[in-house]
Amino acid sequence: MSLDDALKKKRQADQKTGINHRPEIDAKIDNFIAENLEVYQKLQEYTKEELVRKRILDMVNDNERRQGYSAEMREYADQHPEIKTEIDRRLKRLPEDQRERAYARVANNVISQHSIRKGAGVAA
- Alpha-carbon distance values, 96 to 47, 74, 87 (Å): 43, 17, 14
- Alpha-carbon distance values, 93 to 26, 59, 64 (Å): 41, 30, 27
For residue 120, the model assigns a pLDDT of 54
CA-nearest of 97, 85, 65 to 111 is 85
The runs of H, that is alpha helices, within the chain are 3-17, 23-35, 37-45, 48-79, 81-91, 96-118
For residue 59, the model assigns a pLDDT of 96
Question: What type of residue is 54?
Answer: K
Q: Is the model's pTM score more than 0.95?
A: no
The mean predicted confidence, pLDDT, of the chain is 85
- Characterise 16 by phi-psi region: left (phi > 0), alpha (psi -120 to 50), beta (else): alpha
- Kindly report, residue by residue over 24-79, the tens digit of the pLDDT: 888 999 999 999 999 999 999 999 999 999 999 999 999 999 888 888 888 988 89
Report the half-sphere exposure of 83 (CA within 13 A, side-chain side).
23
Instruction: Return the ∠ at Cα 83 (arms to 79 and 88), rounded to 5°.
Output: 110
In this structure, what are the phi and psi dihedrals at residue 18, rounded to the nearest 5 degrees? 80, 10
